[in-house]
Structure 1
């Protein structure tokens, strides 16, 4: 069991995240210009929307790159990727990551707290 991160652990984690970010950036730059612009727009939306730890964001961006790479290989135009609503596409991408990371535990806590308050017999909660 890991009790506390050492300075070397933090540096290694930061280094891993930096390498992962570099790989994503390189993948994005290999996309054709219209795909790259679209990927930039989705990335901006996701970052502004928030609710990510850095690892969760990196996973989502890896997924985004994979979608664009596959669509480019399939010869799809940008509208075919997004459909009528680009926000719906971005939210779906986000939903695919929704149950990982810290937000998953916060969602679970919210659900169980409300279930307990509402009298769900499966959940016990000590109210102050």
Structure 2
């Protein structure tokens, strides 16, 4: 059903991808899920919890999100192979870890920029100097 990279997509595939998103991203997501399924139990639980968090608060973009999920799988595969404890991977504050993890991806940077804009707007509304104009960083 999928067209070869060198041949043009059929009208049906164009319509299908317009409705469901790129088929390549769906294939990549299935591959990611298979990788997570092969992780040892506690790494798999951590991956599924992080994935659930990312589904709510992470990027909505298919290809950007897929790169993040693939990197997550690689991180946990390496950690499992090295025997790295979960707390050594995620630290004591998993939310801090995931926020820093997301910031490494383009849409994560977008979220950071929008947070700064929001914080600055509230500071201006309160008659304060915005944080972005001060030397300290958010």
Give the structure-1-normalised TM-score. Answer: 0.67
Residues 2-17 of structure 1 aligned to structure 2 (within 5 Å): 7-9=12-14, 11=16, 14-17=22-25
**Contiguous gaps of at least 5 residues in structure 2:** 1-10, 121-138
Return the match for 2:29 from 5, 21, 29.
Answer: 21
Compute the RMSD of aligned alpha carbons: 2.6
Q: Which structure carries more relative contact order (alpha carbon 8 Å, separation 6+)?
A: 1
Pair 1:10–1:72, CA change in 2 (3 A):
farther
2:8 paired residue number = none
**Contiguous gaps of at least 5 residues in structure 1:** 1-5, 115-128
Return the match for 2:69 from 61, 68, 72.
Answer: 61
Figure out how many residues of one structure are paired with residues of the other and give that number: 102
Give the structure-2-normalised TM-score. Answer: 0.63
1:45 paired residue number = 53
1:91 paired residue number = 99
